[in-house]
Chain A
Amino acid sequence: MQQLTIIAAAAAVFIAGQAQAQSTIKIGVVTPLTGTYAGIGQQVKWGIDLAVKEINDKGGVLGRKIETIYEDEEANPNVAVQKAEKLFQVSKVDFLTGTVNSGSTLAVGQVAERNNRLASTTVSFSDAITGDKCSPNMFRVNAKAGMQSAALVEWMVKEKPSPSVFYLGPDYEMGRSTVAAFKSAAEKRGAKSVGEVFAALDNKDYSPFFGQIRAARPQVLYTSVAGNDTVRFLTQLSEFGLAKGLQIVGAAGTVTAQNMGAVGKAADGYVTGAAYSAEIDTAENKKFVADFKAAWKTEPDLYGVDSYGVVYFYKTAVEKAGTTDTDKLRSAMRGLEWQTPQGKKTMRAGDHQAVQDMYAVKVVNGKFQIISKVAGEAAVGPDTCTKF
């Protein structure tokens, strides 16, 4: 019974799909609409929807309108793969984006390869995606962890020469490698490491670590926790009086629009390296922020602006190639320069990583103030992708 209904539905979609194939360009978005990362998925959707509306209002791409199809990946790579395949096979999308966690991005990249289509992530920052696990069909328009670290280290050693740093991260692959990357970059510039501890992911109570932190007496505390863990870590740190006189820095994903409200005053003074701040003072960005706020009643964050940018990336590439054919499009994307609210970005051909200016930003009263800048080429690091 069930299978027959599916067949009927599939047939209907097939037929409908064929009819539409010539007129619109379809962009599939596999993003977490439920689950822990739903807040990020929401910004991704807002960014993409805004860009698509703007582009369609101006006539579309090569005269064709863009149509977006969303699927919820529940922040689970197994679901992401299934939905990605559905988008490629049934909805026949021309391009795929939206994956948030690195596992999903890597797996979806493989699906894209098998379906001979291109995809890009706008959120995942694991270095491996454009490093040793790079894929000829996966691109990244956002900054990777190494770039974020570079901007942060640059600012930190200027502010406090030879600082003593304590590291606290969540004990999983991403948390550890983020800490390791920052630590090695910082130590090369003269920072002293006075302690390192890894808490469980979803750890509720960080007070067991405060004794260690207190004893180490660091000037700087680096953390790579995220989401709810950040809320608990920073507020508990502040409640125990440890935050006084301590400069807290961390990964870009640690304090974001999603948890800033809950962290509250404890986030003031937090510094991180990121490719964006809503406070960037250019006419382009001001217009973008205003449009975004008018459409969605919320300020855009890192994920919103990068997702907005990926649609323009795709548009610029298609217009340059004159077609949506995969191989021609891939060549067009390699080395492509395109405009975003963050300025000009260049897609590095060797590893499909977008090169962009990086900023050190500080949280002041709920806003990310820009306090220093590192040029794109200096931040991006070497091309370690050997697959193409």
Chain B
Amino acid sequence: MSEIIETLQFVYGPQVANGLAIGVAVILMALGLTIIFGLLDVINMAHGEFYALGAYLGITLAARGASFWLCLALVPLIMAAIGYATERALIQRVFHSGDRHTLTLLLTFGLAIIAEDAFKLAYGPNPYKPDAPISGASELLGIVLPNYRLFLIAAGSAIILAVWLVVYRTSLGAMVRASAFDRNMASSLGVPVDRVYAGTFAFGVALAGLSGVLLAPVYSVFPTMGKDFILMAFSVVIVGGMGSIKGAVIAGLVLTQIQSISSLFISPVWSEPLVFGIMVLFLMVRPQGLAGRLGHG
């Protein structure tokens, strides 16, 4: 009996706790992605680069003396502005053509290529690591977790809740969901659909940037960091259902737990391909994911 408890405490416990911290990080990334998918039907292949941009902006502001908390507040605002501009200047141009899916995919793909090189030009190829604003570690039932990760779990959960509230409990959110459900109808009802689109994209981008700032002390900042989470984030979005926040949360938690615990049994290299395999399975068997699409219930 005590052996079971010990196994739970020292083997599975830490894995679950770590998986939780990673899960919150992935969910934050996936949230922005799924909202952009769900509403604009746009695959933002540059989402990882916006995540990276947020992290780099955080470092730049910090170098000018801004505290971590100030960065946390400022970066999403700056990112939202950048996202809004990107949507109007780039996405809108190809949005109304017949080949929209392919073109936006290609466009954001091109953007990602440029962004990565631009980061290297502006900040150099070597990594940066901002200090975590909260240091030290805590022990709970024999499981050790750094305090900053506990903060991440708490803050991440709060953000996810806030996003859910905004989308489902405010009139702003209602406009977004209406536009996703039926663009023309929403427009004829007086919803400024163009601005809603741009605003939603901005929101998704701001979320990505926020994740960048939050995760920088844990995962460090370097030009190719945009690729860190992208496959996981896309897997979460697809398994959870394109455009579903609830789905992204559930899928995010489940998939990161699978990844974390599976590394106990199989070579860790295969954990991510395993998650990817689950995504492929979903695509073959239940392409709408766990929870379906934004606005569509």
Contact = CB atoms under 8 A, between A and B. Distances in A.
Chain A in direct contact with chain B (Cβ < 8 angstroms): yes
Interface of A: 34-39, 42, 171, 197-200, 202-205, 207-211, 214-215, 227-228, 231-232, 235-236, 239-241, 258-259, 261-264
Interface string B43-57: 000000000000000
B277 interface: no
11 contacts: A36-B125, A207-B18, A208-B260, A211-B15, A228-B220, A239-B137, A259-B127, A261-B128, A262-B220, A263-B129, A264-B129
A264 B219 CA distance: 14
Contact of B269 (A171, A204, A235): A171
B219 A232 contact: yes
A240 B139 CA distance: 10
Nearest to A200: B269
A231 B267 contact: no
A176 B148 CA distance: 32
A150 B140 CA distance: 42
A302 to B, nearest CB: 15
B126 A261 contact: yes
A235 B125 contact: no
Contacts of B260: 208
Contacts of B219: 204-205, 232
B208 to A, nearest CB: 16
Given A236-B218, A239-B146, A258 B268 contact: no
Contacts, number: 105
Contacts of B268: 171, 197-200, 203, 208-209
Contacts of A261: 126, 128
Nearest to B11: A211
Contact of B137 (A171, A228, A240, A259): A240
A198 B269 contact: yes
A197 B271 CA distance: 14
A236 B128 CA distance: 14
A34 B113 CA distance: 13
Contacts of A198: 267-269
B151 interface: no
B228 to A, nearest CB: 5
A34 B269 CA distance: 26
Contacts of A232: 218-220
Given A39-B124, A241-B137, 5 more contacts: A207-B22, A208-B268, A228-B224, A232-B220, A261-B126
Contacts of A37: 125
A38 B124 CA distance: 9
B10 interface: yes
Contacts of B21: 207
B238 to A, nearest CB: 20
Interface string B139-177: 000001110110000000000000000000000000000
A197 B264 CA distance: 10
A208 B117 CA distance: 31
Q: Which of B18, B127, B131, B272 has the most CB of A within 10 A?
A: B127
Contacts of B14: 207, 210-211, 214
A259 B137 CA distance: 24
B81 interface: no
B186 interface: no
A369 to B, nearest CB: 22
A210 B260 CA distance: 12
Contact of A38 (B120, B145, B148, B149): B120
Interface in B213-270: 218-220, 222, 224-225, 227-229, 260, 263-264, 267-269
A214 B19 CA distance: 17
B267 A171 contact: yes
- The 10 A-B residue pairs whose C-beta atoms are closest, nearest first, are A38-B125, A207-B18, A262-B129, A239-B146, A262-B127, A211-B14, A171-B269, A231-B220, A200-B269, A258-B126
B148 to A, nearest CB: 7
B126 A200 contact: no
A359 B224 CA distance: 33
A232 B25 CA distance: 15
A290 B222 CA distance: 29
B77 interface: no
Please indicate which of the listed interface residues A36, A204, A241, A259 has the most CB atoms of chain B within 10 Å of its own CB. Answer: A204
Contacts of B137: 239-241
B94 interface: no
Contact of B18 (A34, A42, A205, A228): A205
B146 to A, nearest CB: 4
B132 interface: yes
Point out which of B117, B124, B126, B229 has the most chain A C-beta atoms below 10 A from its C-beta: B126
